[in-house]
Amino acid sequence: MTTTAPAPATRPADAEQQPSRGTRFTSWAANYVDERTSMSGLVKELGRKIFPDHWSFMLGEVALYSFVVILLSGSFLTFFFQASMAEVEYDGSYVPLKGLEMSAAMQSALNISFDIRGGLLIRQIHHWAALLFVAAIGLHMLRVFFTGAFRKPREVNWVVGFLLFVLAMAEGFTGYSLPDDLLSGNGLRIIDGMVKGVPFFGTWISYLLFGGEFPGTQIVGRLYTLHILLLPAILVALLGVHMLLLIVNKHTQFAGPGRTNDNVVGSPIMPVFAAKAGGFFFIVFGVIALVAATVTINPIWNYGPYDPSPVSAGTQPDWYIGFADGALRLVPPGWEFMIGPYTVSMNILVPILVLLVFLALVAVYPFFEAWITNDKREHHIADRPRNAPARTAIGAAGVTFYAGLWSAASSDLIATHFKLSIESVTHVIQALTILGPIVAFFVTKRICLALQKKDREIALHGFESGRIVRLPGGEYIEVHEQLSEYERWRLVSYEEYRPVMVRPDARGRISQGAKMRSAISGWFFEDRIAPVTNKELEEGSHGHH
């Protein structure tokens, strides 16, 4: 490494040994900065942070890097976008819209697409990166959930991450609404409908939001402020907290030889990880750019300017809002009723409530699990999903529920593409959304237990090698191949929870909460496969082949 080269002063005479001019400059610059900021301590500290390498630990990075891409491309877009709903006549180069009245916002979005060099590419990079951003966050959250990486001391960071997820969706939705094309207008119309579904205040809130009757002339400007100022500011701040907590808490790792709850095995951030991460940023950027350069996203020129009367077939929100759209589509007809002069729109209120409850459950799950297990220890070893059957099953149920809502948002396309009737598609998805999670829960739990059982078998008796040997006595046996210590480690080191017993507290009383905890935890952990103990291992290796 160039920066560790001996200082030039020690060998003045030898010309060949003199560090190159570049090296001299870097050490001078590093010195200059350090003398004025005392950064070297921090850099040293940070640089020695260890980052374990498993592919799933890079998903958060994918989200981070797509966010950087979003910031860069978004800044470019702000140079040209006009967040105004003033009516103008389009005079750009896209022929089928020429001469049409539209808002300045739509016109500028079209100009970015057709009349500003590289504009369409940047617009598409921005939008694809946004889709990728939320998708990567989603996958990252699933990884954290299924490996139990949200347990103490990382519960708070889970909540921060959850907030980032919600903010990302909000950023996405506000961005989707900016071009003021037909699609975004229809999306806002749905939001408007949902807001107006709120009893008593709905209409007031809607008027406040849109500055008058929908669509009004305000909304694009207001969403723009949220989209480029308020939401990104909060997002960046929370992102900082997220990273800081990551450093403070250190990264989790999967169990393995030499990997314990008290250390982290991997490569230090400086220089290996930093170099890898830098390279990885460009890989993510590259994939986004490749997609954006070859695949259309949100062809606003097809949708045309917003106008409240037309609606296109196949009007959908971007994927991450799909679950909300799907929830609305799944409600059977006839749920609204009147109380006096007020319409109570249960068809809107119930889905909103269901979505809020679902999101809230995601946010508080770590605390719920901590309470159930009554586990106050710190955990730095990531669980293999099978070793926490109840949690994995709950996760699978949640994923199934989300998938049900999500697929409902594309019920019309499922119908046309698989030649089904939209009614039967809707009914099937209704059933899947309600029954699917229950089935998923039990199936997943059984699968986890079965996998654990298999692991236990293998740890104790080794693999079936397929080699059949005839013993001198005439008996046939199959030779089992024993695992190496390293391989076995993975299989036997996990924690086992037992149902929490009801115990009287210090004052000799049993609280209602304690009873409930014991009941739930019994349900959680009554089926379990105990990890292999050392004793069993010893017996196993002597007694068997």
Q: How far is CA 393 from the centre of its chain?
A: 19
Distance CA 190, CA 196 (A): 10
Judged by beta carbon, residue 304 or residue 366, the one nearer other proteins is: 304
Q: Which is nearer to other proteins, 17 or 312 (CB)?
A: 312
Strand (E) or helix (H) holding 470: strand 463-470
**Is 464 strand, coil or helix?**
strand
Distance CA 468, CA 462 (A): 15
Cα dihedral 424, 425, 426, 428 sign? positive
* Pick 43 or 265: Cβ nearer other proteins: 265
User: What's phi and psi for 254, nearest 5 deg?
Assistant: -75, 150
Q: What is the CA radius of gyration of the chain?
A: 29
The distance of closest approach from Cβ of residue 27 to other proteins in the complex, given in angstroms and rounded to an integer, is 31
Q: Which is nearer to other proteins, 132 or 529 (CB)?
A: 132
Q: Going by DSSP bridges, is the β-strand pair 253-254/267-268 parallel, antiparallel, or unpaired? A: unpaired
Query: Does residue 441 contact residue 394 with C-beta atoms inside 8 Å?
Result: yes
Contacts of 152-155 with CB under 8 Å at 24 or more apart are 152/370, 152/375, 152/376, 152/377, 152/378, 152/379, 153/249, 153/378, 154/245, 154/249, 154/252, 154/366, 155/366, 155/367, 155/370
Give the Å distances, CA to CA, from 509 to 353, 502, 516, 519.
37, 10, 14, 17
When the beta carbons of 112 and 432 are compared against other proteins, the nearer one is 112
Q: Which is nearer to other proteins, 240 or 310 (CB)?
A: 310
Residue (156 or 264) nearer to other proteins, CB: 264
Q: In the complex, what is the shortest distance from the CB of residue 474 to other proteins, in angstroms, rounded to a whole number?
A: 42
Q: How far apart are CA 171 and CA 181, in angstroms?
A: 18
Minimum distance, C-beta of residue 407 to other proteins, in the bound complex (Å):
10
- For residues 222 and 214, the answer to whether their CB atoms sit within 8 Å is no
Please name which of 302, 21, 369, 321 lies closest in space to residue 172, comparing C-alpha atoms: 321
Closest contact distance (angstroms) between CB of 182 and other proteins is: 7
Nearer to other proteins, 98 or 545 (CB): 98
What is the pairing mode between strands 342-345 and 101-103? unpaired
Quote the least distance from Cβ 52 to other proteins, whole Å: 9
Q: Tokens representing 541?
A: 């290796």
Q: How far is the CB of 501 from other proteins (least distance, A)?
A: 42
Nearest distance from C-beta of residue 303 to other proteins, angstroms: 5
**How many angstroms separate the CA atoms of 330 and 234, rounded?**
33
Please report how close the Cβ of residue 178 comes to other proteins at its closest, in angstroms. 15
| Identity of the residue, 393 or 425, whose beta carbon is nearer to other proteins in the bound complex | 425
Residue 147: DSSP 8-state: T
The amino acid present at 229, given as its one-letter code, is L
28 or 342, CB closer to other proteins?
Answer: 342
Q: How far is the CB of 390 from other proteins (least distance, A)?
A: 27
Q: How far is the CB of 427 from other proteins (least distance, A)?
A: 13
Q: How far is the CB of 65 from other proteins (least distance, A)?
A: 9
In the complex, what is the shortest distance from the CB of residue 119 to other proteins, in angstroms, rounded to a whole number? 11
CA atoms within 13 A on the CB side of 395: 20
Q: Among residues 363, 284, 297, which one has the least CA distance to residue 64?
A: 284
Q: Which is nearer to other proteins, 313 or 468 (CB)?
A: 313
Our CA dihedral for 59, 451, 519, 370, rounded to 10 degrees, sits at: -30
The residue (of 318 and 369) whose beta carbon lies closer to other proteins is 318
